């Protein structure tokens, strides 16, 4: 639900999963066939996992990070892992690059540039749940365009500040 001032979008688990399923349908309806899914951890991990299961394609993971300060609410320097983790082989052929959102677009652009520079990727397309109006990159597949570029409160964010002691209190352990 978008706040009245348009600055915050609150997403429930049900809405989140529905968005991933809608993204899967958009990709499917496009008719594009791909060999691998590369998700950008952490935000693209959940969508990447579900898309990997739906399309029955291998899942590769590349860790990226730019939102680390203030419980993950302030963007800083973009760090991209040197390695891609996958169960076997190497990332090649047609690759679907998955993240949760295109915020500024910097991550998708930087990762795309790096991947095109040294791997045997014949084609790469990108997929996200949300695209903010301020993004300089328009992914190939997305579910929602957010012209006002609100801060998105995803359902798993409570874990950014939840520590074991509070979890033990919650479960009376």
In 3D space, the residue among 120, 78, 94, 101 whose CA is nearest the CA of residue 38 turns out to be 94
Instruction: Report yes or no on 156 lying in a domain.
Output: yes
State the sign of the Cα–Cα–Cα–Cα dihedral 21, 124, 66, 87.
positive
Structure tokens at 65: 């990070």
d(CA 2, CA 75): 21
Instruction: Report yes or no on 88 lying in a domain.
Output: yes
Instruction: Report yes or no on 2 lying in a domain.
Output: no
Instruction: Report yes or no on 83 lying in a domain.
Output: yes
Instruction: Report yes or no on 129 lying in a domain.
Output: yes
Cα–Cα distance list, 81 to 41, 65, 70, 116, 173 (Å): 10, 9, 22, 15, 37
Structure tokens at 39: 């998700």
Q: How many structural domains comprise the chain?
A: 1
Helices first, then strands: H and E counts in the chain: 4, 9
Across the range 2-26, mean pLDDT stands at 94
Its pTM stands at 0.89
Instruction: Give the domain extent around 34.
Output: 8-170
pLDDT for the residue 35: 96
Across the range 130-146, mean pLDDT stands at 97
Instruction: Report yes or no on 48 lying in a domain.
Output: yes
3-class secondary-structure state, position 105: coil
pLDDT per residue over 40-78, tens digit each? Answer: 999 999 999 999 999 999 999 999 987 545 544 555 678
CATH of residue 147's domain is 3.40.50.2020
Instruction: Report yes or no on 93 lying in a domain.
Output: yes
Instruction: Report yes or no on 3 lying in a domain.
Output: no
């Amino acid at each position: 639900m978008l706040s009245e001032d348009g600055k915050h979008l609150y997403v429930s688990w049900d809405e989140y999963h529905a968005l991933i399923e809608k993204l899967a349908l958009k990709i499917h309806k496009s008719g594009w066939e791909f060999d691998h899914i590369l998700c950008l951890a952490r935000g693209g991990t959940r969508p990447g996992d579900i898309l990997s299961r739906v399309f029955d394609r291998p899942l590769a993971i590349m860790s990226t990070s730019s939102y680390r300060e203030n419980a993950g609410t302030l963007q800083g320097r973009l760090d991209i892992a040197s390695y891609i983790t996958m169960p076997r082989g190497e990332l090649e052929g047609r690759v679907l690059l998955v993240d949760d959102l295109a915020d500024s677009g910097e991550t998708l652009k930087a990762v795309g540039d790096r991947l095109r520079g040294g791997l045997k990727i014949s084609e790469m397309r990108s997929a996200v749940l949300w695209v903010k109006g301020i993004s300089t990159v328009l992914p190939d597949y997305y579910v929602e365009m957010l012209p006002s570029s609100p801060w998105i409160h995803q359902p798993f964010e409570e874990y950014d500040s939840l520590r074991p002691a509070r979890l033990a209190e919650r479960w009376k352990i």
